[in-house]
Amino acid sequence: MTAMTMAKALNTGLRRAMEQDSKVILFGEDIGRLGGVFRITDGLQKDFGEHRVMDAPLAESGIVGAAVGLAMRGYRPVVEIQFDGFVYPAFDQIVSQVAKMHRRTEGTVRMPIVIRIPYGGGIGAVEHHSESPEAYFAHTAGLRVLTPGDPQAAFVTIQQAIACDDPVVYFEPKRRYWDKGDVDEGLDARDRQRVPDPWQARVVKAGDDVTVACYGPMVRTCLEAARASSDASLEVIDLQSLSPLDIETLVASVERTGRLVVVHEASANVGIGAEIAARVTERCFYSLEAPVLRVTGFDIPYPASRLEEHFLPDLDRVLDAVDRAMAY
């Protein structure tokens, strides 16, 4: 096991995928010589060459459009959208072309594209740099959506996303880039006997009283809440895959605990938490001891950086929801 940051784990996972398959190519704004804004691709252009790690113009629609063409020619492009708020110029390409090409061609053309997007707040950034647009893509049929919760998951799932024949929108929680954790570099992401299915949720802490479902940047927050909780034993589940959603793992947990709190940074209205609440209530109606509760960002545009700590769910808000669920 090696202690490394999530940023380093992603870099190592990308390197491993490029070593194993010469058809894997990377491109995006500033990812080559600079190594990306967050240095996720640091050193890759030097080691693999400018023909496999390429700097792209400031044109998100063009970046994703080029990836479509490369995928049709048999490549596995991995493109980076420099910040979450700049994915919208590429939105039409993603939902109209990337998501639909496989079905449109009756299975003849596959789209093994990975679209990497640093997302979420907590880094004191300016406007358009701290958004959580994951629900848009999870809503779109034909796309898979992944988001790692810790360095080990990042190392493995970025490789699994690249190996997937379906398009994957890969959300990286930017404020967790510098969080450290143990990573087993000896794991081969292709070894299905030892490596968990990326489309399944992970029970990262077992508990008995309340199920807490979260993903991405909120995994650490919810684990901190579980350690701080003195009145209830929390079972923390990292969803990891937002599309498809692993409802079975949630159902098994909620049938035992009787309570569910869903936590995410994105606003509550029509968010991932609403879908989870509806589906778990349908399956667990007679097991629930309390309504499904959500802890989310507020239904406002992302605020100025001085106010973001009031916007983002924190340990206290999670514990407050747990208290309300236990009070029923």
Residue range 299-319, pLDDT digits in tens: 999 999 999 999 999 999 999
| CATH 3.10.20.30 fits domain 202-327 | no
Give the residues across from 54 on adjacent strands.
Answer: 27
Instruction: With CA atoms as reference, report the closest residue to 40 among 3, 80, 86, 84.
Output: 80
Residue 318 and residue 268: Cα distance in Å, rounded? 14
Alpha-carbon span 183 to 137, nearest angstrom: 29
Is residue 193 over pLDDT 80? no
DSSP-assigned beta bridge partners for residue 27: 54, 79
CA neighbor of 150 nearest in space, from 97, 87, 217: 217
Where does the pLDDT of residue 191 fall: very low under 50, low under 70, confident under 90, or very high at 90 and above?
confident
Whether 47 and 19 have beta carbons less than 8 Å apart is answered as no
pTM of the complete model: 0.96
pLDDT of the residue at 20? 95
pLDDT at residue 248 in the model: 97
Please give the pLDDT value at position 4: 97
Q: Which of 216, 275, 220, 217 is nearest to 250 (CA)?
A: 275
CB-side exposure of 52: number of CA atoms within 13 Å?
19
| Annotated catalytic residue within 128, 129, 139, 310 | 129
Question: In CATH, what is the architecture of 2-183?
Answer: 3-Layer(aba) Sandwich (3.40)
Asked if residue 237 lies in contact with residue 214, where contact means CB atoms within 8 angstroms, the answer is: yes
Residue 281, amino acid: T
Q: Is the peptide bond before 291 cis (omega within 30 degrees of 0)?
A: no
> Which whole number is the average pLDDT over 276-286?
97
144 contacts 111 by C-beta, under 8 angstroms:
no
Q: Where are the domains of the chain?
A: 2-183, 202-327
Active site residue 129: yes
User: How does pLDDT run across 23-62, given as a tens digit for each residue?
Assistant: 999 999 999 999 999 999 999 999 999 999 999 999 999 9
What's the mean pLDDT when you consider all of the chain? 96
Closest CA to 255 of 229, 280, 232: 280
Q: Is 195 left (phi over 0), alpha (psi -120 to 50) or beta?
A: beta
Q: Identify the band that residue 195 occupies on the pLDDT scale cut at 50, 70 and 90.
A: confident
pLDDT confidence of residue 270: 96
